Structure 1
Amino acid sequence: MNSRFFIYPYCEAGGKRTFSDEQIRGLYRRMVEDGTAGLVFMGSGIDGEDAFLAVMQSPGTHPYVLFVQGLPAGIVWLNRIQYRWAQMHFCTFREVWGRTAVELGRHVNRTLLEMRDSRGRYCLDMLVGILPARNRLAVSYVRKCFGRITGELPRGVYNPQTGQSEKAYIITLTREGIRNESD
């Protein structure tokens, strides 16, 4: 276990949310300040703090706030969970970009793929992401965090700035892939 990194779920526990609405809106503001919101939410309809909050609180969305040495460092959320895989979305904040973001990403991916249910079974066997092919930094980052490009979608993401759909990569992460890379 890496004590530098902490993954905290955003959920309702005992009738109370683990983070306030304002704290979650603040995560979106950080993405805007860092210049990442446009790429993270390209064509998704998430265009402001309230829309982001609504998605994070929607049934079927499982967000996790990421911390490095006690400070907010990003957010990951899972949705479209089916069978034993989920679609994964992520964003790290500027302060941790570089080596720390890669270490954090690897830690998050291991943690999510190692989660077990009450009977000891793995919850997920695979994480799937769809990234705009033109976002080379994100593609490079995900590959460093054990992701594999396993396919292309010729018109996989919509770019509202150009009014055109663009090529996207399908990225997958598996426990076996993480173990092979870690060895």
Structure 2
Amino acid sequence: MYGFEIEGGFTFYKFRDFDGSLSLSDDHLKWFWEKMGKAGQISVVFYDGSVESFEDFKKLAKLKDQHFFLGFKDGRPAGMFWLNGFTQRSCFVHLTIIPDFHGKAALQMGRGVLRHLLSVTDVSGSYILDCVKGLIPVMNSLACRMAQRSGFEKAGVIQKAVYLAAEDKSVDAAIFCAVRNNEVKVSE
């Protein structure tokens, strides 16, 4: 089972291990789904409308090109992220924080996850990722601020880059990047 710890007592576990076997159970996914549902986060996290039910969520988490990590603190769901869109030494990250852990804890998770992703090496000692990217609807100003405070730099805005299912329209999105060979800047 692949997992890692970050500052603040958070531990993240990869849902599906590198050999394809499940490290965590569907019950763990269900637990996170229910927490996100109670907090009204599902339509925000999955703003394109592609995930509307637990079955959709489970299917997404089990796709081979999606790498889900579930984060816990004191035995409770704290946050979740997943990686996709891999190209050479680059990927997209999607992150959500369970409401009980907003504020300082959210920043600890955001910063810790980013630092971890940019420091992971393979068996030969080579870095796996040089660039981690995020695409966030500009109207989600809280998520945009969180990205910058976690160490991402805003690279620009792409017009009509994301589809908002709730409004049935495409909206502008900010593209954020964090690069390994640049010192990760963390603003307060």
How far residue 161 of structure 1 moved from its aligned partner, in angstroms, is 2.1
Residues of 2 paired with 1:61 and 1:178: CA distance? 27
The 3-state SS of whatever aligns with 1:64 is: strand
Residues of 1 paired with 2:120 and 2:143: CA distance? 25
How far residue 178 of structure 1 moved from its aligned partner, in angstroms, is 4.7
How far residue 30 of structure 1 moved from its aligned partner, in angstroms, is 1.3
Q: Map 1:91-106; keep pairs closer than 5 Å.
A: 91-106=96-111
How far residue 44 of structure 1 moved from its aligned partner, in angstroms, is 4.4
Residues of 2 paired with 1:115 and 1:147: CA distance? 17
Measured at CA, do residues 155 and 66 of structure 1 come closer, stay the same or move farther in structure 2, by a change above 3 Å? same
**Residue 114 of structure 2 is aligned to residue 123 of structure 1:** no
Structure with more of its chain in helix, by fraction: 1
Contact 1:146 1:177 in 2 (8 A): no
Residues of 2 paired with 1:177 and 1:31: CA distance? 33
Larger deviation, residues 155-164 vs 86-95: 155-164
- Find the partner of 2:174 among 140, 161, 169: 169
Contact 1:8 1:66 in 2 (8 A): yes
Paired amino acid for 1:130: L
**Residue 7 of structure 2 is aligned to residue 7 of structure 1:** no
**Residue 158 of structure 2 is aligned to residue 133 of structure 1:** no
How many corresponding residue pairs? Answer: 182
1:30 counterpart residue number: 35
How far residue 29 of structure 1 moved from its aligned partner, in angstroms, is 1.8
> RMSD in angstroms over aligned alpha carbons?
1.9
Moved over 3 A (4+): 12-16, 176-182
2:88 counterpart residue number: 83
Contact 2:13 2:69 in 1 (8 A): yes
2:117 counterpart residue number: 112
- Find the partner of 1:145 among 138, 144, 150: 150
Q: Map 1:47-58; keep pairs closer than 5 Å.
A: 47-58=52-63
The 3-state SS of whatever aligns with 1:17 is: coil
Deviation string for 1:37-76 (max 9, x for gaps)?
A: 1111111411111111111110111111112244220110
The alignment's TM-score, normalised by the length of structure 2, stands at 0.89
The alignment's TM-score, normalised by the length of structure 1, stands at 0.91
How far residue 22 of structure 1 moved from its aligned partner, in angstroms, is 2.1
Contact 1:25 1:50 in 2 (8 A): no
How far residue 7 of structure 1 moved from its aligned partner, in angstroms, is 1.6
Contact 1:127 1:174 in 2 (8 A): yes
Residues of 2 paired with 1:74 and 1:125: CA distance? 23
Deviation string for 1:132-161 (max 9, x for gaps)?
A: 100011111111100111021110111122
Measured at CA, do residues 178 and 105 of structure 1 come closer, stay the same or move farther in structure 2, by a change above 3 Å? farther
Percent identical: 26
